[in-house]
Amino acid sequence: MRKEFRDLLDPEEAAALVRGLDIDGGTETVSLTEARGRILAERVDAAIDVPGFDRASVDGYAVRARDTFGAGEADPATLELAGTVHAGEEPTVTVDPETAVEISTGAVLPPGADAVVMVERTATEDEEVAVRTAVAPGDGIMVAGADVSAGERALGPGTRLTPREIALLSALGVEDVPVRQGPKVGIVSTGDELVRPGAALDSDSGQIFDVNSYTITTSVEEAGGEAVLYPHVGDDFDALESQLKGAAEECDLVLSSGSTSAGAVDVIYQIIEEQGELLCHGVGVKPGKPMLIGELGGAAYVGLPGYPVSALMTFRKFVAPVIQDAAGEPDTGATTLDGAMAVTERYREGRLRLMPVGVVKDGDGNTLVYPVDKGSGATTSLADADGIVEVPPDVEQLDAGDPVSVELFSEDIRPPSILGMGEDDPLLSRLLDRLDRPRYLPLGSREGVRRLREGIADVAVTAGPTDHEVETVELGNWSREWGLVVPSGNPENVSAVEDLVDGDLRFVNRDRQSGLRQSLEAALEETAESRGVAVTELFEQIDGFDLTTRGSESPPRRVLAGKADVALGLGTTATKLDLGFVSLGDQQVRVLAASDRTSKPGVQQLEGLLPPADELVSDLDGFEI
């Protein structure tokens, strides 16, 4: 039976449902050596005075204060030396009238004494002590309980135990402490297409590596929960039911990812309806619409969408705060950063949108915010993002310059030192390795220039005949050999670009934003002119011309896998993959900086690396600096 999303629950109502789930993890007792970072579950009262005795706070002489009254430099009080008390020993001497006892810092104050004179204000000769200052009762001593008094409230519940608090507990003689135990959270990742990292991947069968199991596990632990990762399970109803019920028996909260939408094979909602209680199926939020909320076998249950971005965003919005609260973690609030939209962003779906964004500083130090959403199935939407901007359902457009507040993924996040966009290039990757906190998005030459023109990027890296109508400063350049990548030995005897048109060859192209694609189209333009035909006719004659991929290695890897006869690529890539190569010329790669960003330290650092050092290109075939 196919389930339809008819009535999407309001996000605030969904959040309230999740908050109402019982996921209390309880308490446990741990030793002080294991207590750092844990949250105290109960109040701790002092069972003893700290210190437990009156003690000297300075090195000197224990005296009766009244025996020093009137003493000064000109007329010291002379007292008889009656003995010595060291730290860690019980006094065996009493301070009688007109006597003094030598005492060390931290030592027990001997009977009869009510003050300690600093040794610097005394002089000794034979068995007498000359006191050159008057002291009052209590001077130079710490009375019992001055630090902590017996019966006093030492630490309250909810206190995070840092080395400071552990020091206090140690002083009180506490060996074990009751701490909050984070909820045990079972994680079940579903889908026949998933394979755990480390196992063999069959891409021809549509298999992909399991992302959610690991990202959700670490997110649960980051929120303060105890994550229990269960074996991956496919879409079989009985297997899913058994796995979910088993997790519910062992955990306080069960999180699944995948099999929650309205597709024919998405059956988890049926299991929750039959074996527990389904409280919600579908929330008015993007990403995250197919979220499930319910109870199963006495455990709380939340079903997250299968796409990694949807799963993680939904977890952060709805589940992480509840785990944090159950673990007793203090609610410090989200770390936010105010900025202005760098570009106009339109959105007309009428749902709360959790928009992944990146942040960058412009030439004047102002914070700009730009969307990085590549779709729910693209994990790099989060890897390239610094946080999210919540777009209310009734907001259809955010204009460039509009103020927005970014909820950062972490309080440690800082804008990148340099934000670059443009061509994927192996030499550029090596240059980026030498920069401090760079961020580079390989969107292609055309897109890099567009983002530079929009004021988002600090630098754009272009290759080939890419036009750019924007004021820039060229930081440096190099050339690279480009052409056609073929199987080792070139079995089809490919020799020129015309062979793509005239031969029976399966071709893999680059995407339209790529500088390699622009160079190829320029070469085909020349061929079309010589033949007196429109270049679009040649495009249509090439088998696979519109089969495009991103990245400089992706097309050649299709050739390596036997899925294509020819691919557009670089000479150095062919060498790396042990494939054949037909050169079509050299391509200039240019590093362009926005004219108002050249003073940024990151841009200056990159400029200082140009031209590239010889060792960076020594093993890159076809590269010249």
Query: What are the pLDDT digits (tens) for 171-187?
Result: 999 999 999 998 999 99
Burial class of residue 348 (count of CB atoms within 10 Å of its CB; 0-12, 13-18, 19+): exposed
User: What does the pLDDT read at residue 158?
Assistant: 87
Tell me the DSSP string of 141-194.
EE-TTSSB-TT-EEE-TT-B--HHHHHHHHHTT--EEEEE-PPEEEEEEB-TTE
Residues 6+ apart with CB under 8 A from 562: none
- Map out the domains of the chain with their CATH numbers: 11-24+183-326 (3.40.980.10), 29-45+156-180 (3.90.105.10), 55-142 (2.170.190.11), 336-415 (2.40.340.10), 449-624 (3.40.190.10)
**Residue ranges of the chain whose pLDDT lies below 50:** 1-5, 263-265
User: What does the pLDDT read at residue 262?
Assistant: 52
Model pLDDT for residues 45-99, shown as the tens digit of each residue: 999 888 899 999 999 999 999 999 999 999 999 999 999 999 999 999 999 999 9
User: What does the pLDDT read at residue 376?
Assistant: 53
Mapping DSSP to helix (H, G, I), strand (E, B) and coil, where does residue 99 land? strand
| Cα 439–chain centre separation | 14
SS3 helix, strand, coil % of the chain, rounded to 5?
Answer: 25, 30, 45
Q: How far apart are the first and last CA of the chain?
A: 63
Strand partners, 459: 420, 593
* Cα gap 38→157, rounded to integer Å: 11
Least Cα distance to 197 among 212, 182, 183 occurs for: 212
User: What does the pLDDT read at residue 133?
Assistant: 96
Cis peptide bond N-terminal to 51, omega within 30: yes
Q: What is the DSSP letter of 305?
A: P
* Cα gap 434→429, rounded to integer Å: 9
Give whole-number Cα distances, 387 to 338, 366, 407, 412, in Å: 11, 17, 5, 12
* Cα gap 141→115, rounded to integer Å: 6
* Cα gap 82→102, rounded to integer Å: 8
Least Cα distance to 183 among 37, 333, 331, 329 occurs for: 329
Q: What is the DSSP letter of 562?
A: T
